[in-house]
Amino acid sequence: MPSSTRLLIASDHAGFDFKEKIKKAFPQIDWVDVGPHDTARVDYPDYADRVAQKVAANGERGVLICGSGQGMAMRANRYSGVRAALAWNEDSIRLAREHNDANILCFGARLVPLEMAKKLVEIFLSTKFEGGRHADRVEKLDKPCC
């Protein structure tokens, strides 16, 4: 991965320790940690918003971690231009990048072992969007539906 890689990252209280371990595992990444900064109880939508707003506005990429990953993904995907992928194994994130141009990686600290989480981050950063037949579908994802 390029040394100039920048990623937004956030968690809730359940994902805080995991978030810190992920940042430490990838010191070459320019992490923009938007919180929280301790294990005090917080509401995951508030932190998903912080990352999703920046991804939608600036075309950046991010990582969101909560207990299951589901809540973060659900909230982040409410933003136009955000394609948050809940990942649990190598294929889940590889396909999300190749076919869906995922720009936020979500996973659950209670469900994904740390070594797998590290692989998810590596694959998220190294896998390119295939475009082609997938481009029209991704364009549809970014249009409001309701």
Catalytic residue (choose from 99, 134, 145, 146): 99
Encode pLDDT of 36-75 as tens digits.
999 999 999 999 999 999 999 999 999 999 999 999 999 9
- DSSP assignment of the chain, as one string? --TT-EEEEEE-GGGHHHHHHHHHH-TTSEEEE-S--SSS---HHHHHHHHHHHHHHH---EEEEESSSHHHHHHHTTSTT--EEE-SSHHHHHHHHHHH---EEEEETTTS-HHHHHHHHHHHHHPPP--GGGHHHHHHHTS---
Mean predicted lDDT score pLDDT of the chain: 95
Question: Tens digits of per-residue pLDDT, 111-120?
Answer: 999 999 999 9
What pLDDT shows up at residue 36? 98
What pLDDT was estimated at residue 131?
86
What pLDDT digit, counting tens, does each position of 74-97 carry? 999 999 999 999 999 999 999 999
Higher-confidence residue of 142 and 77: namely 77
In this prediction the pTM is: 0.95
Q: Which of 66, 106, 134, 146 is catalytic?
A: 66
Q: Is residue 66 flagged as an active site residue?
A: yes
Spatial separation of the C-alpha atoms in residues 104 and 84, rounded to whole Å: 4
- pLDDT score for 144: 78
Task: Parse the chain into domains and list their residue ranges.
Answer: 6-139
Q: Is the pLDDT of residue 135 over 60?
A: yes
pLDDT of residue 4: 67
pLDDT at 3 over 60: no
- Residue 1's pLDDT band, with cuts at 50, 70 and 90, is low
Q: Is CATH 3.40.1190.20 the right assignment for the domain spanning 6-139? A: no
